[in-house]
């Protein structure tokens, strides 16, 4: 299998340094194995993701020298493919209707998972057919996947072995929203699997999602990829990076620096080179190849 990496931005604004860091590292780890690299635009919620944001992201990546080795996928165009996977899960009895509104979820005193999302209490899992029929008269349900009370474990290439109890620490999660739009966890799993992605490289804020995605990989009969979550970069003054910060977004960076200076800034923030160094993509690649040489790639 050709080693394959990917970058999967949500086009909700101009990329900031943290996004570009994820893009660059996913490209470098793929290339360090002689592999290919893909771009996928995660615009599931097409209303909030105007096409010009995606165009800007692709242009910013090209400016740095990062180009997709395959056709760029747009999730907003792939609902039929997600539906097939959704039907496979339904056929296994894994999916149920959930009528809880955002307000219901907020009001419940459920504990929160490590990424801050409330752990779903399972209320709608227990509905009788009569209660469901009654609710269907006035509400459109979302659909959730029913998780088992089981330990999920995987080895992350940066952080080592990760463990959680699927039901207690993550909780049943939405695979299709009430408005019919398929949810992130399902789309990302289907797309990574069908694109032949072998190593998922992304920010560590998505670590808890990996457990849910691995569950879906197995239920859908796909090969599970390797995961490498990245520490989140902070701005030089310690701030968490945000698309709203002007001085770390790509518009600002392109105005004030050359591509090699931006690559140097990212590699420095990641602790991989000295401050003020300018690096070509090739220089960055050499650093990562040296770093990976002794890596244990068993998963």
H-only helix segments in the chain: 17-32, 51-64, 79-91, 102-107, 129-136, 184-194, 207-219, 250-256, 259-269, 281-292
Q: How far is the CB of 261 from ligand GLU (least distance, A)?
A: 24
Query: How far apart are alpha carbons 218 and 189 in whole angstroms?
Result: 10
Q: How far is the CB of 13 from ligand GLU (least distance, A)?
A: 11
Residue nearer to ligand GLU on the CB measure, 124 or 206: 206
Residue nearer to ligand GLU on the CB measure, 16 or 202: 202
Cα 193 from chain centroid (whole Å): 13
Between the alpha carbon of residue 125 and those of residues 26, 29, 183, 186, 215, the distances in Å are: 38, 41, 19, 19, 19
Q: How far is the CB of 128 from ligand GLU (least distance, A)?
A: 37
Q: How far is the CB of 93 from ligand GLU (least distance, A)?
A: 27
Residue nearer to ligand GLU on the CB measure, 124 or 197: 197
Residue nearer to ligand GLU on the CB measure, 110 or 270: 270
Q: Assess contact for 238 and 212: CB atoms under 8 A.
A: no
Query: How far apart are alpha carbons 191 and 73 in whole angstroms?
Result: 9
Q: How far is the CB of 254 from ligand GLU (least distance, A)?
A: 20
Residue nearer to ligand GLU on the CB measure, 68 or 273: 68
DSSP letter string over 259-296?
HHHHHHHHHHHTTSS-TT----HHHHHHHHHHHHTT--
Residue nearer to ligand GLU on the CB measure, 74 or 257: 74
Query: How far apart are alpha carbons 172 and 55 in whole angstroms?
Result: 35
Q: How far is the CB of 147 from ligand GLU (least distance, A)?
A: 19
Q: How far is the CB of 263 from ligand GLU (least distance, A)?
A: 20
Contacts to ligand GLU by CB under 6 A? 8-10, 42, 188, 202, 206
Please state whether beta strands 226-230 and 199-203 pair in parallel, antiparallel, or not at all (unpaired): parallel
Query: How far apart are alpha carbons 149 and 226 in whole angstroms?
Result: 24
Q: Is 27 exposed, middle or buried (0-12, 13-18, 19+ CB in 10 A)?
A: buried
Query: How far apart are alpha carbons 134 and 232 in whole angstroms?
Result: 46
Q: Is 295 exposed, middle or buried (0-12, 13-18, 19+ CB in 10 A)?
A: exposed
Residue nearer to ligand GLU on the CB measure, 204 or 235: 204
Residue nearer to ligand GLU on the CB measure, 8 or 24: 8
Q: How far is the CB of 249 from ligand GLU (least distance, A)?
A: 14
């Amino acid at each position: 299998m050709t080693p394959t990496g990917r970058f999967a931005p949500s086009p909700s604004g101009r990329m900031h340094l943290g996004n570009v860091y994820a893009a660059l590292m996913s490209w470098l780890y793929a290339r360090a194995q002689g592999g290919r690299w893909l771009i996928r635009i995660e615009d599931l919620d097409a209303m909030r993701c105007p096409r010009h944001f995606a165009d800007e992201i692709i242009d910013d990546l090209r400016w740095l020298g990062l180009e997709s080795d395959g056709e760029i996928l747009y999730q907003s165009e792939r609902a039929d493919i997600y539906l097939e996977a959704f039907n496979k899960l339904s056929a296994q009895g894994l999916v149920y209707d959930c009528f809880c509104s955002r307000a219901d979820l907020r009001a419940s005193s459920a504990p929160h998972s490590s990424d801050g999302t409330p752990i779903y209490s399972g209320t709608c899992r227990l509905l009788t057919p009569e209660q469901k029929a009654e609710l269907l008269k006035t509400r459109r349900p979302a659909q959730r996947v029913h998780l088992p009370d089981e330990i999920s474990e995987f080895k992350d290439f940066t952080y080592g072995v990760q463990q959680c109890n699927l039901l207690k620490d993550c909780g049943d999660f939405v695979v299709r929203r009430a408005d019919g739009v398929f949810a992130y966890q399902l789309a990302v799993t289907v797309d990574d699997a069908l694109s032949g992605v072998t190593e998922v490289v992304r920010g560590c804020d998505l670590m808890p999602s990996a457990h849910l995605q691995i569950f879906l990989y197995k239920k859908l009969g796909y090969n599970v990829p390797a995961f490498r979550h990245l520490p989140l970069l902070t701005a030089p003054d310690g701030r968490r990076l945000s698309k709203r910060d002007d001085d770390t977004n790509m518009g600002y960076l392109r105005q004030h620096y050359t591509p090699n200076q931006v690559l140097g800034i990212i590699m420095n923030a990641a602790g991989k080179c000295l401050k003020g160094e300018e690096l070509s993509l090739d220089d960055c690649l050499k650093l990562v190849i040296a770093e990976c040489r002794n890596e244990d790639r068993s998963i």
